[in-house]
Structure formats: structure tokens, C-alpha cells
């Protein structure tokens, strides 16, 4: 959590009171960490997921002002006796200035999906979703009959995948390219890259798939 406090301070001290855009150093933008998180119940594996955090500039809706975006994606079952599906959680927290004061505002997307580096999208595989358990969060469920498994495979091969979200129905999608090798980011926004979390996710999937 200290990293996000550093981000807020950095945004505040670089703010030009006469400008509309909140300028942030370019080194802050991008993936800040990836963590493999399997889901278990009673010792039985129910899901394989990657959690992510990123700092973005939103040029689609906010004239380049920054947002903090975090969440998770992967495969999971609601219970041991239910069908396996894909999921994507996207939580958006917009940063803005209000009378010289920095404000963080949760802003739930209207839609979200994953996009591989080869341009394969999971948007058409959506079968449900709604508000997540965190303010500003959208949880989307996908079937596995379409492109979702291909996107997971391509994400591991490319070591990258994009989270795409829209802020209004029919609006443009905001892209977030995730670097799946970033396991940590320090207070100077220097990134540590290691394949261990992505590989843990890749090794989890065969244990879950029939």
C-alpha cells in the first residue's frame, strides 16, 4: 500500500494548478505487480487466477489524467459441483484535483474483457457479471466455449495481455497492457521482473482443466 501513497504524493507535487491534466512521470505508468492466486475450498482447487495492479493514463475519457486499476482474471468454479468458467475483475479508481486537493474516485466500468497480443478478444464469450465486492469494480464471467482459453494460452506465451474496459455503454474501450513478468514495483517505480508468478498460474491451469 505504500506504493500507492507514493503515487498520490507524486501526482500532487507535479500538479500544475493552471493545467487541466494531472501530469505524472512516465515511469509510473504501467503494470506495478502480478500475483498468482489459486482458489481452494476444503483443500480442493476451484480456481487459478492472476491478480494485477496498474497505473494508466486514460486518453479515451479523461484527457490523459491518471487512474489506478487493479483486479484479477483466470478460470474458476463457484463450487466444486459447478461448471468451470472464465472471469475478469476490473476495479477503477480515478485520480483528480478538487480545489487543490487530490481525490480518488471509484468509477465502475460498464463492460470489460481481455485481449491477447494477437488480437483475440473474450468480449463475445461474456455470459454474466455485475458490480464486484469493491467500489468501482466490475466482475465479468465468460464461457469457455469460445476464445477465453486461447487468450489464456496466448497471454502465457506472450507474457502479456490487455485488460479492456469501457466507461459508458457503446463507448470506446480503455486499454491496459499488463506485463505478466512484473512481480514488484518499488517507491521509485523501478520494476522487478520475474516469471515466477506467471509460471505458477500456467502450472495451475492443467490441474483445473478436465
Tens of pLDDT, residue by residue over 108-124, are 999 999 999 999 999 99
Beta-sheet pairing, 85-98 with 101-106: antiparallel
Tens of pLDDT, residue by residue over 120-171, are 999 999 999 999 999 999 999 999 989 999 999 999 999 999 999 999 999 9
**In which residue are the cell numbers 487459478 written?**
48
- Amino acid 12: pLDDT: 46
- Amino acid 124: pLDDT: 96
Beta-sheet pairing, 101-106 with 65-76: unpaired
DSSP state letters, 79-100: STTS--EEEEEEEEEEEEEETT
**In which residue are the cell numbers 474483457 written?**
113
Of 150, 76, 77, 72, nearest to 112 by C-alpha is 72
- Amino acid 161: pLDDT: 99
Reported confidence tier of residue 13, pLDDT bands at 50, 70, 90: very low
Tens of pLDDT, residue by residue over 49-97, are 999 999 999 999 998 889 999 999 999 998 888 899 999 999 999 988 7
Phi-psi bin for 63: left (phi > 0), alpha (psi -120 to 50), beta?
A: left
- Amino acid 19: pLDDT: 40
DSSP state letters, 98-109: ETTEEEEEE---
- Amino acid 204: pLDDT: 97
Asked which of 17-21, 35-39, 48-52, 167-171 is least confident by mean pLDDT, the reply is 17-21
Answer for the pair 113, 120: CB distance below 8 angstroms, yes or no.
no
Q: Indicate whether 21 pLDDT > 80.
A: no
Q: Which domain holds residue 92?
A: 2-208
When divided into structural domains, the chain yields a total of 1
Amino acid at each position: 500500500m505504500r506504493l500507492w501513497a507514493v503515487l498520490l504524493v507524486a501526482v500532487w507535487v507535479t500538479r500544475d494548478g493552471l493545467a487541466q491534466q494531472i501530469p505524472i512521470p512516465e515511469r509510473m505508468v504501467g503494470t506495478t505487480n502480478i500475483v498468482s492466486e489459486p482458489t481452494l475450498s476444503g483443500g480442493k482447487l476451484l480456481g487459478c487466477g492472476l491478480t494485477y495492479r496498474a497505473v494508466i493514463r486514460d486518453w479515451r475519457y479523461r484527457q490523459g489524467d491518471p487512474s489506478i486499476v487493479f483486479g484479477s482474471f483466470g478460470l474458476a468454479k463457484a463450487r466444486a459441483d459447478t461448471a468451470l468458467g472464465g472471469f475478469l475483475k476490473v476495479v477503477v479508481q480515478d485520480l483528480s484535483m478538487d480545489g487543490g486537493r487530490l481525490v480518488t474516485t471509484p468509477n465502475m466500468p460498464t463492460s470489460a474483457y481481455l485481449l491477447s497480443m494477437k488480437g483475440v478478444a473474450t468480449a463475445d464469450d461474456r455470459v454474466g457479471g455485475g458490480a464486484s465486492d469493491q467500489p468501482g469494480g466490475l466482475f465479468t464471467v465468460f464461457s469457455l466455449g469460445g476464445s477465453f482459453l486461447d487468450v489464456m494460452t496466448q497471454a502465457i506465451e506472450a507474457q502479456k495481455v490487455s485488460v479492456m474496459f469501457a466507461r459508458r455503454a457503446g463507448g470506446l474501450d480503455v486499454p491496459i497492457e499488463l506485463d505478466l513478468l512484473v512481480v514488484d514495483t518499488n517507491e521509485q517505480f523501478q520494476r522487478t521482473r520475474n516469471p515466477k508468478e506467471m509460471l505458477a498460474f500456467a502450472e495451475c491451469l492443467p490441474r483445473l482443466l478436465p
